[in-house]
Amino acid sequence: MPKEYINPPTLFQSQQFGFSQIVTSSGGKTVYISGQTAWDVQQHVGEEHDLAGQTLGALRNLEIAVQAAGGKIEDVVSLRIYIVGQWIHNSRGVREGLLAFFPEDKLPTSTWIGVPALASPDFLIEIEAIAVIE
């Protein structure tokens, strides 16, 4: 059964921020993806030292993980995004990354959480996901 993306007019219009208010799905294979950062395969952040760059790096890794499970980025239905405290108010980089990666009509739900630190002091963002592959 296909996914349904719902953005009621009685809630704020979240699409401009890169996410949907509600996504429903039934059937398919549910895939839980661990938090992804901008680390490359050699465990280096590389040149991505700002939030926008690390957001794109984490989303690229998320896409690799979804593909490894047999899906595509459009199969992601929900994100939990952890952002290191001093960067939480710089939402533009996160928003632009989400809008660049996900089709406008298939934006996943999203929760952004400010945290004091992540697993490495080099990490500014970590993105955990749930995908439903049909």
Beta bridge pairs of residue 128: 80
pTM listed for this prediction: 0.90
Which CA distances in Å does 87 have to 12, 42, 49, 79, 113?
Answer: 23, 25, 12, 18, 11
pLDDT bracket for residue 18 (50, 70, 90) = very high
Domain ranges, ordered by start, for the chain:
4-8+28-133
Q: Mean pLDDT of all residues in the chain?
A: 93
The dihedral through the CA atoms of 131, 129, 113, 87 has a sign that is negative
Per-residue pLDDT tens digits for 20-62 = 999 999 889 999 999 999 999 999 997 778 999 999 999 999 9
Distances (CA, A) of 130 to 8, 92, 121, 123: 22, 23, 26, 21
- Taking residues 78-106, report their average pLDDT: 91
CATH architecture, domain 4-8+28-133: 2-Layer Sandwich (3.30)
Mean pLDDT, range 101-115, rounded to an integer: 95
